[in-house]
Amino acid sequence: MSTTSVAPTSGQDYFDCLHRLTERAFGGKNVADSGRGQVVQNFFVEGALASGATSAVEWFQDKLNNNYDQNKRFMLFLVGGPGNGKSYVARKIGSGLVELGTPLINKHARKYEFKCPNGQKLVSINDATIPERNINGLRIEFPLINNIVSAVSANDLLMVNVNRGILNQELQCQENSSEGRLIVEWLNSVGAINASEHDFDGWTLTEVETDVKKLKESIRSAKVSNSNSDLEINVLAVHLDRYSMFETQPVLKSCNDDSSGFPRIESIYKIRNFKDRSADFCRSTPAGALLSSFFDSANFKRPSSAPAEFVDPFAANLENFSKESFVAGFQNILRASELVSAKKVTYREMWGAISLAVIGSASQLAGDDFEGWLKDNQPAAESGRKRLSDLMKLANYRTHQSIFGAPQSGIDILTTTFKSPITDMTSKVDPATDAVLGEIAKPKQSKGWASPILETFQSHAEGESVLDSLLDLFRATGDVAADSVTSFDVKLDQEVTFALSESNEFLKDVEKRRLWAWYGEYLTRLYALSHGIPAFKFEIQVLTEILHNAQIRPSLSLDTKNAIKTLFLPYFNGDTTNRPVFLPLYNSRTEPIVDRTETAKLTMQTVAQLDYLPYTLGDSLVIELWSHVCVGQIVLDFPLLREALTSVGNFAGYTELAASLTPRIERLRSTMLKSGKPNNGYFVVSGPQVVEVSRG
């Protein structure tokens, strides 16, 4: 049974395609899936399911179609936040099955029930965040645990979409032991679990995977058996937001070693060094495949020929997305924004990003008539203040402006900003905020990239076109950025050049200066996006290098270790041989003593030899500090790494985030001051002198 109207297989024409994009823009009418109805191939092409979910779906569909031992139960849990495709998976599984009971009128409901081909009932908890109510309308407490227990007792197949917050809430509320709680506890755990601690009322949970490394992967399976009966619950869980869709996903293989047939991990999730993210690599990722299919001209219709004077920023954007290098650059910017903000781009956000990249904030303005809107917003024909203003307004819809949430400026209009969940992430990597001198082709000379733009602006002569100079340079050096320059940009450049020439006075000096700055940022973003260069490119490269290496072996390079050590535990400069770290014992600030002190300080010396052992959990980088036992743990996110990379020698530097990072850094240090933690004794540091305090 389907409640979803079947959409056209692709956009009917160019303007129809633009309009269709508004459905998936932020706040659009089709951003959330109901989890029920037929799966149809439509304009919004299907992306590969995240984090190994395809194998999980196959596994579960096998259980719907075949009869297994009556004592076996099968459950599939998709864990993750909204927008990751959980409901889409539910719809895929329920597609073709007969829905039981009276179909609900509400588009989104907590639970659907279906009759399976094998005769069993499938209970699909599509959205565990929606409260469950009993027949009297009263809210049921800890409904998920109840759902699990009911499915076990009724021999139903169970599929659940749930986020970790709900798992946590259920565990906090429900203290009674049950197989339901045991499973929820397992779902909520990361890494190995201690079987003896997870044994309730005869129910024992056994993790199927025995390789500890793989326990941190996105897909896990467990068997829950009862010593008092022959019941065995087979649970498969996929953590859908563990991995980035811009990276190589884990590979799974079906396993038929027993009737459970859980898919097993063949190769794990791999994080690519940011500097090695080539166009070929980008195309191979789930996001790359989605973008290629979506922007295929058979799917996204190109504009029919228009008069040469017709100005269309959306067509310019589409022209950019026809180039593989630009698509790769677009992906790399989104990937960088994930790393910097420590968030994942979900499918919902990916569609929002695509919509933003093609139609910008016009989704709110153009309504269902993009053609009419464009005609109404064509720039004045004659060069001058009005035409410049009109063109600048349209320029705000160019991909490289809208995707970073760049301020929407123009002459005679108030500067505004369009914010969305995706620009919250991408604005942190806006290349215009971090244009470092240097050339991409000469990485050994400098870490920067922006010299072509900055130097062209500097050497720009009166009345000359900046864009022409840049294009000459790009063509001379074979720079792919040339391919990203469209006829829209040329028209804009002509008008900017005209406005900035001394002979024209329709702009005041202050307006010319603002235009100059705005245009500089415009071209900087255009150039950076065509190469996929984010702000903090160097630091992002270091982060991905650490992540990449940590996936292979738990060790840090000497440089990285020193940088982290200097940030967290700089040593006392008075003893460069032993490099002791002294933490003031009871000060309000836990700032290690680095230099000679003005007054005598009572301190604790941390253990001398600390091992820094990194491990990854998805894209998170955790560094454990070990000295026989783990004495502390650092979640090294991007802001902390940036702070660490400013260190020089034994001196920590500061970024603009220092004020908020300092308490976090001091929190780790003060953990080491807890009684019972290993240390190297207590000392008085007085000026350059260090005196040990002994007992009795």
Partner 1 sequence: MSQLMGDDLILKINRPQYVPFPELFLSELAWRLADLPGWTGTVQVDGEKKVLGLMYDVTSKDTKNVTFKATRPSKTDESRKNWISALYNNEFRFFSGDEEGNADAVEDAIRGVALDKSSRSVATPLSPNIALLQNRQGGFGKKSPIDIGLIVEQIFALGDPKIETYTDGVDEETKSATSLWYVAMRDRLHDDYELSRIDRSVADFILADEKNSGSGKTAKDIFPDRDDLVKLMKPRNEMIKNGQVSKVFLGEQTPFHWMHKAWTALNSEKWVRALPARRWTDWATTILRVGFGFSYIWDANWNLAIAGAITSSETEPNDAERCLYSTRSENQSKEKVTVEYILKSPRLLTGAAMRWKDSDNSLSIRDVAPLVRLTLSRGLQIRMILDEFIERQKAANLTLEESLYELYKDADLRQRLNEAQRDKFKPNAKSLWEAVKYSLLTRSGTGEVADFYGLLSSRSRKFLVIDPATEWIAAISSLAIDQPDGIGDLGKVLAELARLGLRPSPKELTNCLELAGLAQSAADADTAVLVKSAF
Binding footprint of partner 1 on the chain (CB under 8 A): 80-82, 129, 163-166, 168-169, 172, 241, 341-344, 584-591, 599-602, 604, 635, 637, 659-661, 663-664, 667, 670-671, 673-676, 682, 684-686, 689, 691-696
- Taking the complex as a whole, how short is the minimal distance between the CB of residue 661 and partner 1, in angstroms? 8
- Closer residue to partner 1, CB minimum distance, 475 or 667: 667
Place of tokens 């006392």: 572
Between 249 and 590, whose beta carbon lies closer to partner 1? Answer: 590
DSSP-assigned states of every residue in 459-470:
TPPTT--HHHHH
Report the C-alpha gap between 82 and 162 in whole angstroms: 9
Which amino acid appears at position 325 of this protein?
S
Q: In this complex, which beta carbon is closest to partner 1, that of residue 256 or of residue 599?
A: 599
- What is the phi-psi region of residue 553: left when phi exceeds 0, alpha when psi lies from -120 to 50, beta otherwise? beta
Q: How far is the CB of 578 from partner 1 (least distance, A)?
A: 15
- CB closer to partner 1, 408 vs 590: 590
| Least CB distance to partner 1 at residue 666 (A) | 8
Number of other residues whose CB lies within 10 A of the CB of residue 4 = 15
Nearer to partner 1, 386 or 601 (CB): 601
Nearest to 472 by CA among 488, 448, 491, 455: 455
Alpha helices in 593-657 (DSSP H): 638-645
Q: Which residues contact 388 (CB under 8 A, 6 or more apart)?
A: 411, 495, 496, 498, 499, 507, 515
Q: To the nearest whole angstrom, how small is the minimum distance from the Cβ of residue 218 to partner 1?
A: 13
Choose between 301 and 348: whose C-beta lies nearer to partner 1.
348
Least separation in angstroms between CB 587 and partner 1: 7
**Are the C-beta atoms of 121 and 65 separated by less than 8 Å?**
no
Comparing CA positions, the residue from 246, 268, 237 lying closest to residue 163 is 237
In the bound state with partner 1, the residue whose beta carbon lies nearer, of 442 and 667, is 667
Residue owning tokens 């706040």: 27
Task: For the CB of residue 175, give the shortest distance to partner 1 in the complex, in Å.
Answer: 13
Rounded to a whole number of angstroms, the minimum distance from the CB of residue 435 to partner 1 is: 26
Closest C-alpha among 61, 59, 57 to residue 48: 57
For 665, the enclosing helix (H) or strand (E) is helix 658-671
In the complex with partner 1, the residue whose CB is nearer, 226 or 686, is 686
Q: Which residue has the tokens 């420590």?
A: 342
6 or 693: CB nearest partner 1: 693
Q: Which contiguous run of DSSP H or E holds residue 387?
A: helix 385-395
Contact 411, 507 (CB under 8 A): yes
Q: Which is nearer to partner 1, 170 or 521 (CB)?
A: 170
Supply the minimum distance, in Å, between the C-beta of residue 169 and partner 1: 6
Determine how β-strand 611-617 pairs with β-strand 251-253.
unpaired
* Cβ 640 to partner 1 shortest distance, Å: 8
Cα–Cα distances in Å, from 686 out to 24, 239, 600, 601, 631? 64, 53, 4, 6, 27
The residue among 166 and 453 lying less far from partner 1, judged by its C-beta, is: 166
First CA to last CA across the chain, in angstroms? Answer: 82
Contacts of 379 (CB under 8 A, 6+ apart): 311, 386, 387, 390, 391, 394, 495
Give Rg (Cα) of the chain: 29
Residue 445 amino acid letter:
Q
Comparing CB distances to partner 1, the nearer of 17 and 583 is 583
- Within 10 Å of residue 362's Cβ, how many Cβ atoms? 26
Report the nearest approach of partner 1 to the CB of residue 583 (Å). 10
Residues 562 and 647 sit within 8 Å (Cβ to Cβ)? yes
In the complex, minimum distance from the CB of residue 174 to partner 1, in angstroms, rounded to a whole number? 15
Min dist. Cβ of residue 601 to partner 1 (A) = 6
451 and 437 Cβ atoms separated by less than 8 Å = yes
